[in-house]
Amino acid sequence: MRDALTRLGIEGDPLVRAAQEEQFGDYQSNCAMVLAKRLGRKPRELAVEIIAHLSIAELCEPPEIAGPGFINFRITPAAMARRLGAIPAAGHAGVERLGIERTPRPQRVIVDLSSPNLAKEMHVGHLRSTVIGDCIARVLEFAGHEVLRENHVGDWGTQFGMLVAYLRRIRPEVERNPESLIIKDLEAFYVEAKTQFDADDTFKAQSREAVVALQQGDATTRRIWQAFCEESLRHCHALYGRLGVRLVDRGESYYNELMQEVVARLEQRRQDDPNSAVRLSEGALCVFLEGFKTRDGQPLPLIVRKSDGGFNYATSDLATILHRVEHLGATRIIYVVGLSQKQHFEMLFAAARKVGFVGEEVSLHHLGFGNMLSPGGKPFKTREGGTVKLRDLLDEAVERARRVLQEPREEDWSAGRPDRASLADADMQRIAETVGLAAVKYFDLSHALGSDYKFDLDTMLSLEGNTAPYMLYAYARIRSIGRKAGIDFDALPATDLVLEHPAEIGLAKTLLRFAEVVQVASDELKPNVLTDYMYELSRAFSRFYDKRLGVRVIDASPETIRLSRLRLCDLTARTLKLGLDLLGIATLEQM
């Protein structure tokens, strides 16, 4: 389409999109209507000219013009067969990419994800940032970008003085031997320390003294604080390992000296230009930005240094941006943080650009997301009203998955499933762990990021619908087809396919869309685009393998047809596996 427009001497977007309905073909373009308005032409006449200058006979059937000037394209089965046949065989050397090329313009991208507060255990509120951030990082890495996963953990502030003082009181040996510190329940430890802080004025004074000592770099205080942070991170990384998430921890304390640098640069800017956006307001150092107002219409500043000389989140976040741009060389920074922080990031990004910390060559993006709610639609809390630990949530999902997997199933679901009686308890636990965690992740990622959703284990663990268990089953089922056919999928050669039956053509068409879907997920940072596609692919395969609507596979003849259909099975399984991997989900050969 671009070539055709160039031949006509017309500049413009070809506007080629996947057709929404099968009757309109596989792809559509409405560029004739858009360009005709600009050129003062009739859309259908322009569409005729565009088609006359197209050279796509090896790819499509003759294009059709519909309605006021839509150009419809229908890919030929032969073209699909060639394209699928060009995908390298499963057994070829290298990482599985299904023939998808990497971007020719790679960026150094930082994904800011998870970011727990080390004073407490991770709770359900950390799930979305962790899971979404990991998926975004995986998709961008697959696209060919260099991705750095940054875990901006909260390890600084007044509450840590309280925790250090409490450790010193009940575990004095930590001062001499920091490596000995093990805290079984961080949440209980925090509650005990806070109770002591609220009830004991002497302890409250000791806590404040510990804060000052910590900020001033006292070696003994720092040693106890460091031991607590490492123990807290051990709890975090037990969950990260379980979820298959890898990242680099960089606490707020890491930027302590850089926060001084931020303030020094802003003060210098204020002194150099009294009319700059950096000004003092009631003793606080602020950046005043256009477009941000208080409820009563007054200018809303970003406070960088409080009137008492203290720093805040804005100071820390500006220091973080400086480090990521000037030291890590990032050209794109993505913050995976809840929508409640929308205004904070809008002001932060505007301030970073206003004061010259970030140039136009660097992209700053707040990838906001909605809340995870209880099944009743309210904030997720324990019966006592406290926050639900993420560890407990995952444990419950795994236990429920185990019960679901042990339930009797219809005969059709037996494909790809081992005999339960022959499974060792450890094997059943491994399968339940995979399915349970996959269910939680997939359900989260399948929702549009900006929307809230209700946490519902019954729906998450359903073996029907757009769920992880259904996807895992679909993959295991296809792998079992290869075993029944006596075929090693990894040994199947990459050859052109034979596509004749509508179910074959439909599956092939869906397989070929995978590269486009990954591109959209990468460009628009939308994991649910990928989950929607996975469900569509699994349904296309079900039609293909259906005894009534589809084709024979294992016993198909002649052998060329049999091998072609088994190759479609293999490509489907590999696409499902790769798609699930991009979502951060492991597959099972048997389920």
Residue 448 lies in a domain: yes
**pLDDT for residue 417:** 57
CA–CA separation, 393 and 265 (whole Å) = 45
CA–CA separation, 262 and 268 (whole Å) = 10
Backbone angles phi, psi at 16, to 5 degrees: -90, 125
Question: 263 with 229, same domain?
Answer: no
Length of the chain: 591
From 230-239, 420-429, 485-494, the region with the lowest mean pLDDT: 420-429
**pLDDT for residue 410:** 57
Q: Please give the average per-residue pLDDT across 14-30, as a whole number.
A: 93
pTM (two decimals): 0.94
Q: Residues 417, 591: contact at Cβ < 8 Å?
A: yes
**pLDDT for residue 420:** 60
**pLDDT for residue 215:** 86
Q: Please give the average per-residue pLDDT across 387-395, as a whole number.
A: 94
We report the CATH number of the domain holding residue 11 as 3.30.1360.70
Residue 112 lies in a domain: no
Instruction: State pLDDT tens for residues 362-385.
Output: 999 999 999 999 988 998 877 667
Q: One-letter amino acid identity for 231? A: E
Q: H or E stretch including 149?
A: strand 146-151
CA–CA separation, 134 and 271 (whole Å) = 43
Average confidence score pLDDT of the chain: 94
Question: 503 with 547, same domain?
Answer: yes
Question: 555 with 430, same domain?
Answer: yes
Question: 404 with 553, same domain?
Answer: yes
Question: 348 with 404, same domain?
Answer: no
We report the CATH number of the domain holding residue 267 as 3.40.50.620
Cβ contacts of 507-510, under 8 Å, gap ≥ 24: 507/540, 507/541, 507/543, 507/544, 507/568, 507/572, 508/77, 508/80, 508/81, 508/84, 508/568, 509/26, 509/75, 509/80, 510/536, 510/537, 510/540
| DSSP secondary structure, 217-276, as one string | T-HHHHHHHHHHHHHHHHHHHHHHHHHT---EE--GGGGHHHHHHHHHHHHHHHHH-TTS
**pLDDT for residue 317:** 97
Collapsed DSSP state (helix, strand, coil) of residue 465: coil
Task: List, edge to edge, every strand of the sheet that includes 146-151.
Answer: 248-249, 146-151, 108-112, 332-336, 363-367
Q: Please give the average per-residue pLDDT across 30-43, as a whole number.
A: 95
Question: 577 with 507, same domain?
Answer: yes
**pLDDT for residue 158:** 86
Q: How many domains does the chain have?
A: 4
Q: Which of 200, 216, 244 is the last residue in one of the domains?
A: 244
* 431, two tokens: 């399968």
Instruction: State pLDDT tens for residues 501-547.
Output: 999 999 999 999 999 999 999 999 999 999 999 999 999 999 999 99
With bands split at pLDDT 50, 70 and 90, how would you rate the model's confidence at 409?
low
With bands split at pLDDT 50, 70 and 90, how would you rate the model's confidence at 95?
confident
Residue 148 lies in a domain: no
CA–CA separation, 437 and 439 (whole Å) = 5
Residue 132 lies in a domain: no
Q: Structural domain of residue 60, as residue ranges?
A: 2-75
We report the CATH number of the domain holding residue 400 as 1.10.730.10
* Residue 288 in this model has a pLDDT that exceeds 50: yes
Question: 399 with 474, same domain?
Answer: yes
With bands split at pLDDT 50, 70 and 90, how would you rate the model's confidence at 412?
very low
Q: H or E stretch including 17?
A: strand 16-18
CA–CA separation, 38 and 34 (whole Å) = 7
**pLDDT for residue 503:** 97
* Residue 408 in this model has a pLDDT that exceeds 90: no
Residue 322 lies in a domain: yes
Question: 237 with 264, same domain?
Answer: no
* Residue 416 in this model has a pLDDT that exceeds 70: no
Question: 566 with 446, same domain?
Answer: yes
Residue 106 lies in a domain: no
Q: Residues 244, 586: contact at Cβ < 8 Å?
A: yes
> What count of other Cβ atoms lies within 10 Å of the Cβ of residue 346?
16
Q: Which residues contact 508 (CB under 8 A, 6 or more apart)?
A: 77, 80, 81, 84, 497, 499, 568
Residue 302 lies in a domain: yes
Among residues of the chain, what percentage have pLDDT more than 70? Answer: 97
Q: Which residues contact 575 (CB under 8 A, 6 or more apart)?
A: 98, 511, 514, 537
Q: Please give the average per-residue pLDDT across 55-62, as a whole number.
A: 95
Residue 320 lies in a domain: yes
* Residue 39 in this model has a pLDDT that exceeds 80: yes
**pLDDT for residue 411:** 46
Q: Please give the average per-residue pLDDT across 183-192, as a whole number.
A: 93
Question: 234 with 273, same domain?
Answer: no
* Residue 43 in this model has a pLDDT that exceeds 60: yes
Question: 403 with 479, same domain?
Answer: yes
Q: Please give the average per-residue pLDDT across 120-146, as a whole number.
A: 97
Q: Which of 221, 244, 267 is the last residue in one of the domains?
A: 244
Q: Residues 522, 143: contact at Cβ < 8 Å?
A: yes
Question: 566 with 461, same domain?
Answer: yes
**pLDDT for residue 224:** 94
CA–CA separation, 281 and 307 (whole Å) = 8
Q: Which of 12, 42, 75 is the last residue in one of the domains?
A: 75
Instruction: State pLDDT tens for residues 548-591.
Output: 999 999 999 999 999 999 999 999 999 999 999 999 999 999 88
Q: Which residues contact 188 (CB under 8 A, 6 or more apart)?
A: none
